[in-house]
């Protein structure tokens, strides 16, 4: 008897109830031309399409009906559908946590930086925001028993402050091979706010192909701040930033990744975010439910820093003391901090 050879992909497609679409072309009603259009507007993967809005696809010249069909198929494939509260609870159990390197901060945020959500580190210059980003980019690679996710990091650097030497010393301290660790950090520098937006819009493919579970934007706000000066452009700035954050949270949910952003603020935190960037003013979808904010400030002791959990969807406010050393982000030993 002649045997029929079939790829694993075709085999899966045979089963009508449980379809797996590997590429966007595999979705019903997505031909080569539509796939091209979708890619142009930043949808390279089925996962990203599952969280798309019809209007976004329509903007690329796809009809309403078709857009709805494509999104529905992508959702079905990605298993995004109505769930019971019990199923929701189970989905939440897939939330991963990445250690910050400091047990004190981890405790403050109930175990580490969470996937499926945005964590913002904000504070003055030199407070340690970028150091935390470097540390997390290394720590995400640790196995779960050491506080990582055994996965890789995407690093969008807007101020050219990423330092490979820091990664090397942090990796060495953890007994990891620095070369391997740096191979697992996918890096891009963003030159302007538009470039930053574009990088994220095109990120879904690289996230999927590289087992990314941590998306870092350091700094989220620097370009926006320097490019949009004055009251008259404030609304436009916030609108762009909103959209950017919206994209970020959708990527974090689609790929079960942690999103970490930094935001430099003066000693007296300004109202940058209060004006709706992430607060649900106007009913925006990126509400505070997915946003944890941690203020980092310098302290009296050498290298000592204080992390203050300022807002979280489900945790009480609180503070943690940590330090930044040659090894990276660490706990302070008892007696090390006298008084502040």
- Pick the piece of the chain touching Mg ion (CB under 5 A) from 115-123, 128-136, 168-176, 249-257: 128-136
Q: How many CB atoms lie within 10 A of CB 201?
A: 18
If residue 91 lies in a helix (H) or strand (E), which one and from where to where? helix 85-92
C-alpha neighbours within 13 Å on the C-beta side of residue 36: 3
Q: Which does 148 bind (CB under 5 to 8 A by kind): ligand GTP, Mg ion, none?
A: none
Residue 125 found at the interface with ligand GTP (CB under 6 A): yes
What phi and psi, each to the nearest 5 degrees, are found at residue 324? -115, 120
- Hey, is 59 helix, strand or coil? coil
Q: Which does 264 bind (CB under 5 to 8 A by kind): ligand GTP, Mg ion, none?
A: ligand GTP
Residue 264 found at the interface with ligand GTP (CB under 6 A): yes
Distance CA 245, CA 42 (A): 15
Residue 292 found at the interface with ligand GTP (CB under 6 A): no
Q: Which does 210 bind (CB under 5 to 8 A by kind): ligand GTP, Mg ion, none?
A: none
**Helices (H), ranges, the chain:** 8-14, 32-40, 46-50, 54-58, 64-77, 85-92, 103-108, 129-139, 164-173, 178-183, 193-201, 203-209, 222-227, 234-254
Least distance (Å) from ligand GTP to the CB of residue 160?
A: 10
Among 303, 308, 311, 331, binds ligand GTP (CB under 6 A): 303
- Which tokens sit at 3? 């045997």
Among 98, 200, 324, 329, binds ligand GTP (CB under 6 A): 324
Q: Which does 303 bind (CB under 5 to 8 A by kind): Mg ion, ligand GTP, none?
A: ligand GTP
Among 44, 97, 129, 240, binds ligand GTP (CB under 6 A): 129
Residue 212 found at the interface with ligand GTP (CB under 6 A): no
Among 116, 127, 130, 196, binds Mg ion (CB under 5 A): 130
Distance CA 248, CA 232 (A): 26
How many residues in total does the chain contain? 340
Among 75, 325, 331, 337, binds ligand GTP (CB under 6 A): 325
- Pick the piece of the chain touching Mg ion (CB under 5 A) from 109-117, 121-129, 144-152, 330-338: 121-129
What phi and psi, each to the nearest 5 degrees, are found at residue 308? -120, 120
The answer to whether the beta carbons of residues 293 and 122 sit under 8 Å apart is yes
CA dihedral 110, 111, 117, 120 (to 10 degrees): 80
Residue 131 found at the interface with ligand GTP (CB under 6 A): yes
If residue 306 lies in a helix (H) or strand (E), which one and from where to where? strand 304-311
- Which tokens sit at 33? 């031309």
Q: Which does 126 bind (CB under 5 to 8 A by kind): Mg ion, ligand GTP, none?
A: ligand GTP
- Pick the piece of the chain touching ligand GTP (CB under 6 A) from 24-32, 93-101, 241-249, 321-329: 321-329
Q: Which residues bind ligand GTP (CB under 6 A)?
A: 123, 125-131, 161, 264, 303, 324-326
Q: Which residues bind Mg ion (CB under 5 A)?
A: 129-130, 161
């Amino acid at each position: 008897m002649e045997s029929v050879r079939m790829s694993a992909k075709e085999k899966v497609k045979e089963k009508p109830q449980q379809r797996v679409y590997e590429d966007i072309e595999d979705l019903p009603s997505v031909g080569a031309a539509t796939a091209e259009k979708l890619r142009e507007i930043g949808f390279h993967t089925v996962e990203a399409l599952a969280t798309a809005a019809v209007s976004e696809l329509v903007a690329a010249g796809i009809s309403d009906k078709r857009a709805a069909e494509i999104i529905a198929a992508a959702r079905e494939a990605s298993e995004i559908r109505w769930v019971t509260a019990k199923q929701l609870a189970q989905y939440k159990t897939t939330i991963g946590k990445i250690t910050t390197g400091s047990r004190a901060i981890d405790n403050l945020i109930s175990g580490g930086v969470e996937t499926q959500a945005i964590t913002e580190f904000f504070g003055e210059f030199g407070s340690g925001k970028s150091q935390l980003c470097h540390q997390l980019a290394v720590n995400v690679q640790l196995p779960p028993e050491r506080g990582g996710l055994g996965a890789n990091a995407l690093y969008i650097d807007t101020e050219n402050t990423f330092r490979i030497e820091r990664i090397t010393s942090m990796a060495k301290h953890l007994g990891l091979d620095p070369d391997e660790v740096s191979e697992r950090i996918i890096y891009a520098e963003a030159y302007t706010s538009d470039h930053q937006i574009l990088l994220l819009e095109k990120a879904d493919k690289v996230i999927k192909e590289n087992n990314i579970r941590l998306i870092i934007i350091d700094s989220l706000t620097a370009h926006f701040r320097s490019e949009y000066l004055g009251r008259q452009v404030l609304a436009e700035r916030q609108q762009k930033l909103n959209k950017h954050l919206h994209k970020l949270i959708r990527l974090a949910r689609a790929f079960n990744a942690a999103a970490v952003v930094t935001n430099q603020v003066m000693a007296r935190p300004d109202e940058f975010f209060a004006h709706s960037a992430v607060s649900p003013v106007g009913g925006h979808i990126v509400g505070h439910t997915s946003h944890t904010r941690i203020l980092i400030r310098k302290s009296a002791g050498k290298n000592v820093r204080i992390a203050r959990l300022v807002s979280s969807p489900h945790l009480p406010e609180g503070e943690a003391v940590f330090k930044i050393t040659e090894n990276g982000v660490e706990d302070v030993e008892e007696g090390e901090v006298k008084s502040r």
